[in-house]
Amino acid sequence: MQLRIFICFIFSLSCLGVFPAVAQSITDNIIQIDGVTMTPDSLRAVADVTVEVKNKNRGTESEYTGVFSIVCNKGDTLVFNCLGFRTKEYAIPRNLQGQIFSMIQLMVQDTFYLPETIIRPLPSREAFTYAFQHWHVPSDKYELARRNTNAYVLRALAYTLPHDGHESQSRLMQQQANAAVYYGQQQPMNILNPLAWGQFFEAWKRGDFRRQSNPYLDNSSSNY
């Protein structure tokens, strides 16, 4: 019985036009804001500005041309935030006509004040001499780049890097080609080759197997 009364009440309100009036008022309160963020002095577009509806979990960002678009209610407050610029707020008037509003928001650059830094020289010449001889000054980026591109360093890194697909395929094809040359017969062993032993002794006399010191490899742990 109560359900029938409620249905009759809703039907009577719809016949009187109450629901369309409420829906029309809600639609009239919604507005779309289309705007541009730029600097006031040079009118340069400010990109990546966060446009947020105050006290509501909704917002957007301006594009690289400074253009943004957001839908909100009349009477809301838009908050503009961007790194290096002051925070701005704009209250949308409640008496705006229509559902589309265009605006230009000027973003003023913010100045950061850093604490004062005083640079003093060393107190004496002896202190400068000691610092010049014993202080460890890290290498600059140019020196690090020069050491990283050294031939010995690149050669050492090449031994630790794994083979890629092209190198693995080339190595496999080379092994197959070497195996095809001696197909059906025993491959020679260089351990019994007198010519190979002669080349080994000549290289030993020349000092080809002598270890060569490299300052870049020896001091690599303290520079990287």
The order of strands in the sheet holding 88-91 is 59-61, 50-53, 77-81, 88-91
CB-based contacts of 19: which residues, under 8 Å, 6+ apart? 13
Over the stretch 54-97, which tens digit does the pLDDT of each residue have?
988 889 999 989 999 999 999 999 999 998 899 999 999 988 88
pTM, two decimal places:
0.43
- The domain limits of the chain are 2-106, 125-222
| Cα(14)–Cα(59) distance, integer angstroms | 36
Over the stretch 93-125, which tens digit does the pLDDT of each residue have?
988 888 889 999 999 988 777 788 888 777 888
Q: What is the CATH number of domain 2-106?
A: 2.60.40.1120
Over the stretch 157-211, which tens digit does the pLDDT of each residue have?
888 888 778 888 888 888 888 888 888 777 777 777 777 888 888 888 888 777 6
| Cα(131)–Cα(134) distance, integer angstroms | 5
User: Which two three-digit tokens encode residue 92?
Assistant: 């949308």
Fill in the DSSP letter of residue 121: -
Question: Would you put residue 4 in left (φ > 0), alpha (ψ -120 to 50) or beta?
Answer: alpha
Provide the pairing of β-strand 100-106 with 67-73: unpaired
